[in-house]
Amino acid sequence: MNFKPLHFAQTFFAVTALAVVSFVSAAQTSAPLEFGVGLFQPDKEKNDATYKPLAEYLSKKLGREVKLRTVDTWEGLAKSLASGETDLALMGPWGYVLANHNAGAEVVSTILYQGKPEYFAIMITNPKSGISKIEDLKGKTFAFGDKGSTSGFLIPSHEFFKRGIEPEKFFSKVINTKHQAIETQVTRGDLDAGADYNRNRDAMIEQGLIKAADSKIIWTSAPLPNDAFAVSAALAKDRAFTAKLAAALEEIGGVMKSQPNLLPNNYTGFVSKDNKYYAPIKDAALALGWLQPKK
């Protein structure tokens, strides 16, 4: 079967390599630390407001100014960490694996959601669509997340690959868009189905952005590692700094008892993890041919 490879993964290293050459390690200076976060909230303004307390907390704990910047695609965030444009990043697992594999970024901690370091990719449809399983999607419209998304692109692509499904031939139309847009368009009936992750669906229902009755889950993945808090390759070499960062993140669960706004609703802290924890993501990318084994 000819499953189309991911152009983003193929070009990722070439795009970032030149930037890495010219990057001066933030670990060797007192310059502000650039902290990139993905667009977890419906818009940039809300995202910045949500993660500003975390940036301020880290600034105090690390004794360095931490400048927050929302990067509106997972693809863009992965590239910015790999290039050194951002020093720290709270990012999706697939983006982290790319930044690690191609540019030496390193995970420090994994975020906890309701006390757990894992989540699930899902495929959703509108209950009125008549779709109840993946096989029912043939000839329908389908939305993936952006090409740096774990649950929105990598994991559903891997599932289709295992089933011998080529999306461009199987579906009548395929698009890539943001997770929030997928849920909104599917619940409105503008799209037949799409890929998302359980945390986003739950949050949108909780915030009243969609109705639970209008969103039906037809497939759920095996558990996936939660978002990674990672550092650039340059900072990863400074073990004293990464240990200090890991300790600061580990303490957040306790600190949230008096400062509950440090993380969004349902996020309860961080747990230290290393690169091995993200092996299932890397394995899926290798199976698809989106990453090449290192010799």
Whole-number Å distance between alpha carbons of 198 and 189 = 20
- pLDDT for residue 72: 83
- pLDDT for residue 148: 84
What the block records as the tokens of 240 is 């004293």
Neighbours of 250 (CB within 10 A): 15
- pLDDT for residue 30: 75
Kindly tell me the sign of the dihedral angle through the C-alpha atoms of 148, 7, 192, 162. negative
Sheet with 216-220, side-by-side order of all strands:
173-176, 141-144, 193-197, 121-125, 216-220
The DSSP string of 267-280 is EEEEEE--GGGGHH
- pLDDT for residue 9: 58
- pLDDT for residue 12: 54
Whole-number Å distance between alpha carbons of 26 and 269 = 25
- pLDDT for residue 75: 82
The DSSP string of 120-175 is -EEEEE-GGG---SGGGGTTSEEEE--TT-IIIIIHHHHHHHHTT--HHHHSSEEE
- pLDDT for residue 39: 80
Name 60's Cβ contacts closer than 8 Å, sequence gap at least 6. Answer: none
Q: Which domains does the chain have, with CATH numbers?
A: 7-117+225-288 (3.40.190.10), 121-221 (3.40.190.10)
- pLDDT for residue 10: 54
- pLDDT for residue 248: 98
- pLDDT for residue 26: 46
Q: Along the chain (295 residues), what's the average pLDDT of each consecutive run of 10 residues?
A: 51 49 49 90 87 97 96 87 93 92 95 96 97 98 93 97 97 96 97 96 93 97 97 96 97 97 94 96 96 85
- pLDDT for residue 250: 97
